[in-house]
Amino acid sequence: MKIVVCVKQVPDTKGGVKFKPDGTLDRAAMLAIMNPDDKAGLEAALRMKDEDPENTTVTVVTMGLPKADEVLREALAMGADEGLLITDRVLGGADTWATSSTIAGALKNMEYDLIITGRQAIDGDTAQVGPQISEHLDIPVISYAEDIKVDRAAKTVTVKRQFDDRYHILTAKMPCLVTALSELNEPRYMTPGGIFDAFQKEVTVWGRDKLDVADENIGKNGSPTVIAKASDKVAKGKGEVVTPDSPAEAVNYIVGKLTEKHVI
Partner 1 sequence: MDFQLSKEHQMARDLFREFAEKEVKPLAIEVDEKHEFPRETVTKMQKYGFMGIPIPKEYGGQGCDPLTYAMCVEELAKVCGTTAVIVSAHTSLCCDPIMTYGTEEQKQKYLVPLAKGEKLGAFGLTEPGAGTDAQGVQTKAVLTEDGKEWILNGSKCFITNGKEADVYIIIAYTDIVEDKRGRKQKKFSAFIVEKDTPGFTFGTKENKMGICGSSTYELIFQDCHIPAENLLGARGKGFAVAMHTLDGGRIGIAAQALGIAEGALDRTIEYVKERKQFGRAIAAFQNTQFQLANMATQCEAAKLLVYQAADAKATKSYYGVEAAKAKLFAAETAMDVTTKCVQLFGGYGYIREYEVERMMRDAKITEIYEGTSEVQRMVISGALLK
Q: Contact positions toward partner 1, by CB under 8 A?
A: 70, 73-74, 77, 188-196, 199
Under 8 Å between Cβ of 5 and 30: no
- The nearest distance, CB 200 to partner 1, in angstroms, is 9
Distance, in Å, from the CA atom of 77 to the CA atom of 219, rounded to the nearest integer, reads 30
Distance, in Å, from the CA atom of 149 to the CA atom of 174, rounded to the nearest integer, reads 12
Nearer of residues 193 and 237 to partner 1, judged by Cβ: 193
List Cα–Cα distances, 217 to 27, 65, 100, 136, 185, in angstroms: 23, 18, 9, 11, 34
Nearer of residues 62 and 100 to partner 1, judged by Cβ: 62
Backbone φ and ψ for 116, nearest 5 degrees, come out as -120, 130
- The nearest distance, CB 95 to partner 1, in angstroms, is 30
Backbone φ and ψ for 201, nearest 5 degrees, come out as -75, 155
Nearer of residues 8 and 73 to partner 1, judged by Cβ: 73
- The nearest distance, CB 66 to partner 1, in angstroms, is 13
Nearest to 204 by CA among 95, 17, 60: 60
Distance, in Å, from the CA atom of 257 to the CA atom of 264, rounded to the nearest integer, reads 9
Nearer of residues 193 and 239 to partner 1, judged by Cβ: 193
- The nearest distance, CB 202 to partner 1, in angstroms, is 15
Nearer of residues 12 and 88 to partner 1, judged by Cβ: 12
Maximum distance among all alpha carbons in the chain? 70
Under 8 Å between Cβ of 194 and 77: yes
Nearer of residues 41 and 79 to partner 1, judged by Cβ: 79
